[in-house]
Amino acid sequence: MFFSSTVRLDLAVIDRGITAISVAILTLAVWVIVSTLRQYYRLRHIPGPRIAGFSKWWLLRNEMSGRMPFACYDVTEKYGSIARIGPNELVTSEPDLMRQMLTVRTRYKRSKWYYAMRFDPSKDNVLSTIDDAKHTALRAKMAAGYSGKEVDNLEAKIDRNVMALVNLLETSYISKGKPFDFARKAQFYTLDTISDVAYGQAFGFLTHDTDLYDYIHILEKQMPNIMWTTVYPWAVDVLSSPIFKGLVPSHKDALGFGKVMGIIKKIVDSRFGPNKETHRDMLGSFITHGLTRDEAESETLMQILAGSDTTATTVRATFLHVITNPKVVRALVAELDGAGITTRPSTTVISDAEARALPYVQALIKEGLRIFPPVVGLMLKQVPEGGDSFNGVYLPAGTNVGYCAWGIMRRADIWGADAAEFRPERWLEAGGEKLREMEATVELVFSHGKWQCLGRNVAMMELNKVFVELLRRFDFVLVDPTKPWKSANVGIFTQSEFWVKGYKREE
């Protein structure tokens, strides 16, 4: 009898437990359905892929496939210049809307998408912080350093790295008739240049002609893991937990990004403390203007990664478009011949001021930035309280709006019917208001307003020199024109197998 009562009691408890669990599951299911429908209806007036209104699957699939910038372009071409790509995410190919969001006095905020730009998950930097006040304060401390005003021999440092690239190609490959992977050499150049101007010590990629510490190889493997956190920003906070310490790069690592973190940590440590070193380089300027030790470490790390990969992409992509277009090569060399550049001693490098005064050189660089924009991340901004509108399209408060670089840089109404063609002459043919529109649009490659790229000055100086110095000395051909390179996008472009042969230029 006692046993029977106990069984009935236990069954009653189990029944109540099952009922409670069922109610909880049902409540959760109802909450998910209602939340999903509410989110869908908020942006139902903006078209896009059907799945995007209900799930982040479209975002995740395209981010991880390496096709995100091209997928966004396809979406804006199919659904319009403002399109939906997620439950709370839009993308736009409207340059005027981008400027509206990015102006100095904008009320838009950075979204949590930027958390993924914490190259050390536990530390913010000027690119990752979404706090406006902190961002403004950091920019103010670093502006003088990035401008070059407080950096001794900034241009001379870039010159010596240009010559290091030229000498490497000539002595190790061209003079021996050997092909080389220009994708790697271009990245060696930008890594050595940015480290030299940042803290006065080039890494030495060009000197050793190798991927030191397996840095590039390991970073390319890690980037997809970084980019999925742009879709799920909460994962960044998870990765910063001590539990996952072994999964993220550490300054104690012997290879990869962690090794570079360790190098930068040692250099930053040498600039603080009782026996601190002082140098008039970018890091020295940052510290002079008040960056703390942790801030200096974080910002220098960001500078190396963001400053080398994006510039390398522009060097590689522009170079590919130039050497496969004989008309462009002829026009460039003719301008250099006319300016007396090609007959100069082989040990000299064109000055930044001279390069800026050469119309075709500038047209070539602008066209390279346009045809293959190096920064193509969504960089989602959040619509302010009260919402916003553009050309009659209402943007509800809290909506995240992203940047479709490929779409903006291929708009026929701005660039003409041949927008998909690499044609530097368009910059020489345009004038007046049309030229101003084109220049303002291509400048979006460096963002705009309060979020404009701090490194623009250094990047442009690198570009102003490298094409001139390579193409005034050598002719280049692709080893296999049917397979010019391997290129994919994982937030940044990863490019390799760009096999080229060079020849001394015939006089």
pLDDT digits (tens, 9 = 90+) for 237-267: 887 777 766 667 888 888 888 899 999 999 9
CATH number of the CATH domain containing 301: 1.10.630.10
pLDDT of residue 90: 98
Residue 239: CB partners within 8 Å, gap ≥ 6? 121, 229, 247, 248
Is the residue at 4 inside a domain? no
Q: What number is the average pLDDT over the span 274-282?
A: 92
What are the tens digits of pLDDT across the range 193-231? Answer: 999 999 999 999 999 999 999 999 988 888 877 788 899
The pLDDT of residue 13: 61
For residue 30, is pLDDT > 70? no
Average pLDDT over residues 118-139: 90
pLDDT band for position 7 (cuts 50, 70, 90): low
Looking at the DSSP bridge assignments, the partners of residue 388 are 395
- % helix / strand / coil in the chain, to the nearest 5? 60, 10, 30
Helix 293-323 with 359-371: angle, nearest 10 deg: 100
Percentage of residues of the chain with pLDDT beyond 70: 92
Give the model's pLDDT for residue 289: 96
Lowest mean pLDDT among 65-69, 237-241, 318-322, 395-399: 237-241
Please state, in angstroms and rounded to a whole number, the distance separating the CA atoms of residues 347 and 149. 26
pLDDT at 220: 87
403-426 per-position pLDDT tens digit: 999 999 999 999 999 999 999 999
Q: What pLDDT was estimated at residue 24?
A: 62
User: Considering Cα of 125, then 118, then 370, then 132, what sign does the dihedral take?
Assistant: negative
* Cα distance between residue 53 and residue 440, in whole Å: 33
* Listed range (18-22, 38-42, 91-95, 483-487) with the worst mean pLDDT: 18-22
Residue-level pLDDT at 506: 74
- What value does the mean pLDDT of the chain take? 92
Q: Does a structural domain hold residue 179? A: yes
Give the pLDDT score at 15.
65
Residue 10 placed within a domain = no
Which residues, 6 or more positions from 407, have their beta carbon under 8 angstroms from its beta carbon?
Answer: 72, 73, 76, 77, 81, 92, 93
Residue 14 lies in a domain: no
Give Cα 45 to chain centroid, integer Å.
31
Given the structure tokens 């980037």, which residue do they identify? Answer: 223
**Cα 115–Cα 380–Cα 94 angle in degrees, nearest 5:** 160
What is the pLDDT at residue 11? 60
Q: Is residue 25 part of a domain?
A: no
pLDDT value of residue 248: 76
Q: Is-contact 374 310, C-beta < 8 A?
A: yes
pLDDT of residue 20: 65
pLDDT for residue 435: 98
What local confidence, expressed as pLDDT, does residue 16 receive?
67
Task: Identify the pLDDT of residue 70.
Answer: 96
Residue 248 lies in a domain: yes
- Which of the pair, 4 or 166, is modelled with greater confidence? 166
Q: What is the average per-residue pLDDT within 159-176?
A: 98
Q: Contact, 141 vs 291, CB < 8 A?
A: yes
pLDDT beyond 70 at 113: yes
Domain count, the chain: 1
453 known ligand binder: yes
CA distances from 373 to 370, 434, 460 (A): 6, 20, 14
- Give the whole-number percent of the chain exceeding pLDDT 90: 79
Q: What is the Cα–Cα distance from 313 to 97, expressed in whole angstroms?
A: 26
Q: How many CB atoms lie within 10 A of CB 501?
A: 16
> For residue 341, which of 355, 327, 321 has the smallest C-alpha distance?
355
Q: Which two tokens stand for residue 412?
A: 């026929």
* Across 53-82, average pLDDT: 95
Residue 34 lies in a domain: no
pLDDT at 33 over 70: no
Q: Give residue 221's pLDDT.
A: 85
Q: Identify whether 15 is part of a domain.
A: no
Q: Give the domain extent around 91.
A: 43-504
**Under DSSP, is residue 493 helix (H, G, I), strand (E, B) or coil?**
strand
